[in-house]
């Protein structure tokens, strides 16, 4: 996934201005993700975002992972 794509879906699906802002959020923040039945396009973007988030945090040695509320 490209940085441009991650920035695009981050701004679309959250209140953060970039993927980097999401990764570096203060207060031990971690995103929560909920899928909607039948919303395939947005569900795919949500899955991409939380997968990239988890991977990036793991690579940085940060133990935060996205919460998957309905998986």
pLDDT in tens, 26-67: 999 999 999 988 889 899 999 999 999 999 999 999 999 999
In sequence order, the 6+-apart residues with CB closer than 8 A to the CB of 17 are: 10, 11
Strands (E), 1-71: 32-33, 67-68
Residue 71 has pLDDT above 70, yes or no: no
- DSSP states along 27-43: TT---EE---TT-HHHH
Six-digit token string for 9: 């879906």
- Residue 67 β-bridge partners: 32
């Amino acid at each position: 996934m490209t940085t441009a794509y991650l920035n695009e879906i981050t701004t679309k699906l959250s209140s953060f201005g970039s993927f980097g802002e999401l990764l570096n959020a203060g207060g031990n923040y971690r995103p929560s993700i909920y899928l909607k039945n039948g919303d395939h396009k947005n569900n795919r973007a949500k899955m991409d975002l939380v997968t990239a988030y988890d991977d990036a945090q793991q690579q940085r040695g940060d133990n935060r992972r996205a919460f998957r509320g309905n998986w």
